[in-house]
Chains A and B, each alone.
Chain A
Amino acid sequence: MLIKYAGVVIIMIWGIVFPAILLGLSKLFHPNNPTPTKLSTYECGLETQGETWVQFKISYFMYALIFVAFDVETIFLYPWAVRFQSLGLFGIVEMFIFMAILIVGFWYAWKEGALEWM
């Protein structure tokens, strides 16, 4: 019973050991001459200004909301995709109706300006 899980344990151990070896080798061989520029935090090439706990602009929120609503609907595509050959024409028509309703929703969101940059 337990022996079946031996592979998992080996991968876990290897997952720890292998990066350690690589990092250790790199540490051994790399040249070491730090400068202040090299030690500064990498922040998309720019220094951060002021507080980092700023509020994000609310316009990001609309994308997130639309993403949440549409993202989860794909959950229904998976069972269909696995079985669609045995479901036949009926399944395809059904799925197209489902997608059509989703697309109407997406079209509505687009047209009403939910995707505009505010």
Chain B
Amino acid sequence: MAQSSADQTVLKRSFRRKRLRENAAGLFFISPWLVGFLLLMFGPMVFSLGISFTEWNMVGSPKFIGVENYIHMFTSDPFYFKSMIVTFKYVFIMVPLQVIFAVLIAVLLNRATYGIKFFRSIFYLPSLIQGVTLALIFSWMLNDDFGPVNYMLELVGLPRIHFLTDPKVALYALIFIALWGVGSPMVLYLSALRSVSAEYYEAADIDGAGPVRKFFNITIPLITPTILFNILTSLISAFQTIVLAFVLTGGGPAQSTYFYSLHVYRNAFTHFKMGYASAMAWVMFVLIVLLTGLVLASSKYWVHYEDDGGGR
């Protein structure tokens, strides 16, 4: 008894030490990021939190106004909720679509018996083009008058679509363009699919499961960790999306693509209301943290980790 309890403390201690060492290794690995964060970002973040309680136009000294910026946001800024709605629409359409397309392409590629490397590159290549370059390419592709897309629509007898200049269409055009980057999550899914053991499918075959059943009961559950990762990263970046709208539409037409981030940018660098812009940025930060937490909390109901069979 005494012997075993002593054993246990030794075990516990060594376990704790091992744990510590593992943590230290982890921290060590991310230390470049940590150091960069502390040196380059932490200061400005604290600064912007402070500034968010002031009125400041970059010249002169900030004037403390308490939570007035936060009140203005929710009560008297006519564009605040407008831009919030546009952003939510974008996120809740773009993120699911991206997950669905990435999974579908990965599954199809995974079934390919030959040429997989070739097709994998083909589907991945577009996602190497990002940001302003992507926006400029599509500004020509979708151009009302000269764009190849409209030209082809006309060839097959369809009316031209004012992709970027029709208030009803522009947001969806931006979502479509953003899906161009579907190649990066696709590669992740592909490697996740690769690690799904063939035994499961063999067992399912013996039980007489069809392909649809196999897809939903084996494939999807086993790649849920990757889906979770994909949803989290896209969610965070989609809420902050700015480049496409900034380059292609400037928030228009009729503010149909006036994202939250554009509203922040405009207040900061057109109206030079740094305090208000900082306040808005912080609200968005809190919102993203909450939503990320929500997704993480929900993950125990739908994400399956192979090692322990259930959620964590």
Do A and B make up one complex? no
